[in-house]
Amino acid sequence: MDATDGPPVLKLGVSDAIAGLALSTEAHWNQTEEDWRVFLHDGIVFGIRDGMRLVATAALLPYSSNNAWISMVLVSATHRRRGFATRLVDACLETARKNGLTSWLDATPDGAAVYGPLGFTPTLQLRRLKLAKSKSSSGPAPAAATLEALRARDRRATGFDRTALLTAFAQRSGSRIAAANGCIALVRDGRIARHIGPLFADHAAEALALVDAIAQSETRPLLLDAVASQGAFLDGLTAAGWTIERPFQRMRFGPATIAAEDTPFAVAGPEFG
């Protein structure tokens, strides 16, 4: 079958959030309906339907300085190996090209092998870690911090202005911005686990102390997407009982447009950057 054959690529709307959630749930991902609404409201989500059923998606989420994130590349198990993911990623890249955007994504090892030949350049690496929680909280919550403080650190580390995204995260029920000793992190709900990130700090020891304080005040499982080059931080997490679930390779398509001032210890997630 030719790559252009088959059902058409469509632009999805906010009303497709539940259908998108069904796809990410099938893949055992951590996104919530609120996450899908961010992509559908603030970005462009392409999809393919089989009749009325949504069977494949890919999202392009614009940020500042002519940058955008590609994510939510999902195909139902019943419709794989038909070229749907390639068509949807191509739609994202073409939209980014028309709008003069540099595209970024966080790829699994299998995905990186696909995206590399398309012209994506590897940048930093990530490690997703999980901490299982099976007992009641045993410690006080760390101090709260302001959204403005988080936004400022986020821009220094990413080069992007992600005020809209961070505001959406912070305003959700159950979200909090925690801080201690110059460190700051966002904690939010996910479908199967709470997520810590982004997380910014000046030193690994302080970052580890903040993560430990957060963990001691939580009861649900926790996920964290650590920057692999923060070796002391990664070592400290695994020593504290966190387990590495999978790696991700951050990749860029197009010219570099930003100059980050520092490196985060953990990111907002492979779907958000």
> Which of 81-95, 138-152, 233-247 has the lowest average pLDDT?
138-152
**Is residue 65 over pLDDT 70?**
yes
Rounded-to-integer distance, Cα 115 and Cα 108, Å: 10
**H/E element holding 115?**
helix 109-118
Closest by alpha carbon to 198, among 144, 242, 162?
Answer: 162
CATH topology of domain 127-267: Aminopeptidase (3.40.630)
User: What pTM did the predictor assign?
Assistant: 0.92
Buried/exposed 244-271: b ≥16 CB within 10 Å, e otherwise: eeeebbbbbbbeeebeeeeebbbbbbbb
pLDDT at residue 203 is higher than 60: yes
* Sequence-ordered list of residues with C-beta below 8 angstroms from that of 15, at least 6 positions apart, any chain: none
pLDDT at 260 over 80: no
Binning pLDDT at 50, 70 and 90, where does residue 136 land?
Answer: low
Alpha-carbon span 148 to 146, nearest angstrom? 5
Q: Are 157 and 198 in contact (CB under 8 A)?
A: yes
Whole-number pLDDT of residue 113: 87
Identify the CATH class of 10-100.
Answer: alpha beta
The more confident residue out of 153 and 259 is: 153
**Quick one: pLDDT at residue 1?**
37
pLDDT exceeds 60 at position 126: yes
Average pLDDT, the chain: 93
d(CA 41, CA 37): 6
Ordered DSSP codes for 173-239? TT-EEEEETTEEEEEE--SSSEEEEEEE-SSHHHHHHHHHHHHHT--S-EEEEEETT-HHHHHHHHH
Tokens for 3, please give them: 């790559």
Burial of 241 (0-12, 13-18, 19+ CB in 10 A): exposed
Is residue 195 within 8 A of residue 127, CB to CB? The reply is no
pLDDT tops 50 at residue 204: yes
The pLDDT score that the predictor gives to residue 16 is: 98
- Mean per-residue pLDDT for 183-201? 97
Task: Say if 10-100 and 127-267 have the same CATH topology.
Answer: yes
**pLDDT tens profile 21-45:** 999 999 999 999 999 999 999 999 9
Residue 212: is its pLDDT beyond 50? Answer: yes
Per-residue pLDDT at 257: 78
SS3 content of the chain, % helix, strand, coil (to 5): 35, 30, 35
Average pLDDT over residues 100-121: 92
Domain boundaries, the chain: 10-100, 127-267
At residue 42, the 3 state secondary structure works out as: helix
